[in-house]
Structure 1
Amino acid sequence: MHSSRRTFIKSATALAGTALAPNLLLGQENSVAMLNVAAVGCGGKGLSDISEIAPGNRIAFLCDIDANRIKEASARFPDAQIFSDYREMFEKVGDQIDVVTVSTPDHMHFPIACEAIGRGKPVMVQKPMCNTLWETRALANYAKDKGVLTVMGNQGATLQGTRLLREWIEAGLIGEVKEVHYWTNRPIWPQGPGLEFPAEPVPPTINWDVWQGTCATERPYNPNIHPFKWRGFWDYGCGALGDIGCHSMNSAFWALDLQGDFVVEASKVSEFDENMAPKHATIVYDFPAKGNRGPVKVVWQDGIGNPNTDKNFVRPPGIPDDLELNKEFGQVFVGTKGIIFFNDAYCSSAPILFPESLMQEARKIKKVYPRVKGGPTQELCRAIRGDGPKPVSNFEDHAGPLTEMVLVGNLAVRSGKKIDWDSEALEARGLPELKRFLKREYRAGWEPKLA
């Protein structure tokens, strides 16, 4: 049965990678249609990813370095085998795994996804795909070379609002898009210089060695690092931009085809150091004309307490002065004929048009892009079964280049330089000294393995 099952899944995966394949699995018995899921990272976002992928599948393996974080998932799926080290999981039950979810701190996305891809396992990795530029490019290339189906967990890529946005822009509803504005109240965790995380005894429920993983800087355990406040560390996360950027900027990236070279510069950057990201930054991307569109400016503002009252916030042009803005995040597309406004980071809310008269014209625009049901993990599972195309936010075509765009913004922050980004070469033109920011120093025994 296992051999037959692998043959069906492998065939379906190969077909789904290139086109909308026939459904090879749903006609088989139920054990074939249901995929065996291995979830790495089971608390917080990990639990929501498990809940999303569970319908129609079997949660077979749960892996988390923290026994307390795995409890709720284990209670919901009592038949799942439990591991604290993903390497042990792959070694012992790798042949039984059909799909992997990776919902860990950012610095561990790369090694876990590499292990899955090297074994031919389709994988969903939470955003950002990786937290260094070298790892992002290497992982995208590795997935492409191995022919493995992948998706990043930026759920906005699957939402109807993202498709409406692209359809409206391509139909010329707001004319030529000149600017895109994003803002967020992130970070909502400690960032900035001078923070202290003194050593505390490692609880017996935590595998701290595996949590540290690839990072050469071996920090002692502190409960203010794990499970949430790691996001402000350059080593483990990538600050506010890394946390929300792959969600928010996905809309402009996809609708306006922002892949390729660009220039980016940071300003209004609060204090930070070699360890921690700043509390606030404004980052401006300038993309050259491409295809049928002209040049586009993308403005990112983070650390905004409340955009309706924060004196540091620069209100995007074209929206009414009395319009109440979401305190957490929002996005505005500024065109020569009008404005598209989303009061959220994911295009999950109903888009608002200014002037409002454009809505009548919007209703006439035909649907062009298929709608996706069930979020990125279910999109991936349909592709594995041969019941749909490869996910929109797959590593090589979308998630990789999007993550690179986001991370180059952090490069501008950390360097204090205006970055002329050479996408093909993966480098900042004329600034060879910045190469040290592109690839992490690896802890002994955790060096990259891309066989």
Structure 2
Amino acid sequence: MKSKESKTISRRGFITTSSIVMGGFTVVPSHVVSGLGHVAPSDKLNIAGIGIGGMGRVDLEDVAKTENIVALCDVDWNDSVNNVFDTYPKAKKFKDFRMMLDEQKDIDAVIVATPDHTHALISMEAMRRGKHVYTEKPLTHTVYEARMLTEAARKYKVATQMGNQGQASDASRRIQEVIWDGVIGPIQEVHVWTDRPNRGLADTYWPQGVRRPQDTPPVPESLDWDLFTGPAPLRPYHSDYHPFRWRGWLDFGTGALGDIGCHSFDTVFRALKLKYPTSIQAVSTLVNDETYPLGSIVTYDFPARKEMPPLRLTWYDGGLRPPRLPDMGDDVQLGAGGVLYVGSNGKILGNRILPDSLSDSYQRPEPYLASSPGHRMEWILACKGGDPAGSNYEWAGPLTETVLLGNIALRPELREKLSFQSLSFDPEKLSFPNMPEADQFIHYKYRDGWAL
């Protein structure tokens, strides 16, 4: 382990260069921050929820502790959504977010918790109207959409946040401090895994590795199926898509990688100063043109970053896990999901330093990264003129791009070629120089009537 004087990254240097994502969230009058913040810090925001039957309900519960909930929007007024309506009886109710934004002029900020394929459209429309935006993860459905939202947030000068709540945790900060302390040496390898979409041996959270259902049940009276479909090609309604089970379908969701990647990759990206990979590889179970595979392994290669060496980040889903490595005794359990950092001198699994002899001889640094006031509170304070939230679009956009690049490498149309080569990525041109036919998956043509 290096001495305090010769650490790979100095604490003072990192804090100075990373203040945009690790700030102290000090609230200042909104007029001090040009274009940022429509209300004074002492006032309450008027917030609208769009997509409120699932995670959107949880988001609303948190911000309602301090702010006003003035509008609620969902394409399906089912029992779950009606319960949310009952919770906020003064809020106006809508099915179409466009009508809500047109008709209700007192909205300061919106929470977007719809299926992945409509995140970008709704978030962009809100920003164009000067609304602050909190968007659930992954930020978007396509790589192009993520880039466009990042640029739009910069242009419209609104406060933004992606819903990867773990970035605000003290646990994330402690892992970063230990890695920067150099205890396991330079890191050239990280493994990240999840059991999603599996729930158990005989059950899944959502369908993957299946074909489109052939029966066409009637659309529930509570649901506007055309609005749910949004920019995707129109198909008959089926309960295999909604509610919630949309995540595994290519047209609507981003699979296990999109569901968990923005959570699990966040601390890795912060600790190791990652942004865009140079290449991506993927292998998987059988694939089709409807859903993501049941299990996959995606490998990202990142270039050296100043004093940090090149890095290989490997993702596993569907219950697949990394191989056991030296220093991992029988008592070391990988579990259903986790993160393993592999350095030249040791490893970090979760919060555990391996081997145990290294952990026993190591004194962890005193905490120095300031605690977050809370993931959603970061966004609330940013809306009122405070520091940018920790997962604002400037951070969340590139993170989401990396996650979604993995899904491109899993496309059935590319599978044969990618069995023999990696997919090179040019972040400036948003293209794949060694496989131009993959460029079509950076984005897709929206259904008529929808545009970003």
TM-score range for the pair, normalised by the shorter chain length: 0.7 to 0.9
Deviation at 1:424, TM superposition (A): 1.5
1:266/1:96 CA distance change after superposition, 3 Å? same
SS of residue paired to 1:151: strand
Deviating more after overlay: 100-109 vs 271-280: 271-280
Q: Percent identity?
A: 38
Unaligned runs of 5+ in 2: 1-27, 198-204
Matches within 5 A, 1:72-221: 72-93=83-104, 95-187=105-197, 188-196=205-213, 198-215=215-232, 217-221=233-237
**Pair 1:337-2:352 in alignment:** no
Q: 1:408 maps to which residue?
A: 405
1:316/1:251 CA distance change after superposition, 3 Å? farther
- Tell me if structure 2 keeps the 8 A contact 1:197–1:224: no
Q: 1:4 maps to which residue?
A: none
Deviation at 1:422, TM superposition (A): 1.0
- Tell me if structure 2 keeps the 8 A contact 1:66–1:206: yes
Deviation at 1:169, TM superposition (A): 1.3
- Tell me if structure 2 keeps the 8 A contact 1:260–1:424: no
2:401 maps to amino acid: E
How many residues of Structure 1 are paired with residues of Structure 2 in the alignment?
409
Matches within 5 A, 1:291-306: 291-304=306-319
Q: 1:283 maps to which residue?
A: 298
Q: 2:20 maps to which residue?
A: none
Distance 1:325 1:144 in 2: 40
- Tell me if structure 2 keeps the 8 A contact 1:162–1:251: yes
Q: 1:70 maps to which residue?
A: 81
* 1:437 aligned to which of 437, 441, 450: 441
Deviation at 1:357, TM superposition (A): 5.0
Distance 1:12 1:36 in 2: 21
RMSD: 2.1
Deviation at 1:325, TM superposition (A): 3.1
Deviation at 1:14, TM superposition (A): 3.7
Q: 1:371 maps to which residue?
A: 371
2:222 maps to amino acid: T
Please give the TM-score of this superposition, normalised by the length of structure 1. Answer: 0.86
1:91 maps to amino acid: D
1:318/1:153 CA distance change after superposition, 3 Å? farther
Deviation at 1:358, TM superposition (A): 4.7
Distance 2:109 2:329 in 1: 46
Deviations 1:45-95 (A, max 9, x none): 1111111222111111111111113122122222211111111110111x2
Distance 1:364 1:16 in 2: 38
- Tell me if structure 1 keeps the 8 A contact 2:212–2:290: no
Q: 1:310 maps to which residue?
A: none
1:130/1:139 CA distance change after superposition, 3 Å? same
- Tell me if structure 2 keeps the 8 A contact 1:37–1:61: yes
Distance 1:424 1:44 in 2: 36
Q: 2:384 maps to which residue?
A: 385
Q: 2:332 maps to which residue?
A: 323
Unaligned runs of 5+ in 1: 1-7, 18-22, 27-31, 308-312, 343-350
Distance 1:183 1:103 in 2: 24
Distance 1:382 1:118 in 2: 21
- Tell me if structure 2 keeps the 8 A contact 1:263–1:287: yes
1:122/1:361 CA distance change after superposition, 3 Å? farther
2:92 maps to amino acid: Q
Distance 1:304 1:226 in 2: 24
Distance 2:188 2:437 in 1: 33
Deviation at 1:440, TM superposition (A): 1.4
Deviations 1:367-395 (A, max 9, x none): 342211222x2110011123x31012111
Deviating more after overlay: 358-367 vs 137-146: 358-367
Deviations 1:339-363 (A, max 9, x none): 2212xxxxxxxx1222345556765
1:99/1:358 CA distance change after superposition, 3 Å? farther
Q: 1:11 maps to which residue?
A: 31
- Tell me if structure 1 keeps the 8 A contact 2:41–2:381: no
Deviations 1:281-338 (A, max 9, x none): 1111111211110011111111017x6xxxxx533554333323322x1111111222
Distance 1:261 1:11 in 2: 38
SS of residue paired to 1:108: helix
- Tell me if structure 2 keeps the 8 A contact 1:168–1:362: no
Distance 2:108 2:61 in 1: 17
Distance 1:283 1:165 in 2: 23
1:102/1:361 CA distance change after superposition, 3 Å? farther
Distance 1:296 1:372 in 2: 28
Distance 1:224 1:180 in 2: 34
Deviation at 1:139, TM superposition (A): 1.2
1:180 maps to amino acid: V
Deviation at 1:148, TM superposition (A): 1.3
- Tell me if structure 1 keeps the 8 A contact 2:340–2:348: yes
Distance 1:127 1:280 in 2: 21
SS of residue paired to 2:134: strand
Distance 1:242 1:248 in 2: 10
Q: 2:428 maps to which residue?
A: 424
Distance 1:358 1:79 in 2: 58
1:87 maps to amino acid: R
SS of residue paired to 1:445: coil
1:248/1:364 CA distance change after superposition, 3 Å? closer
Please give the TM-score of this superposition, normalised by the length of structure 2. Answer: 0.86
- Tell me if structure 1 keeps the 8 A contact 2:161–2:393: yes
1:70 maps to amino acid: V
Distance 2:326 2:402 in 1: 24
1:367 maps to amino acid: P
* 1:237 aligned to which of 241, 250, 253: 253
1:72/1:359 CA distance change after superposition, 3 Å? farther
1:127 maps to amino acid: K
Deviation at 1:223, TM superposition (A): 1.5
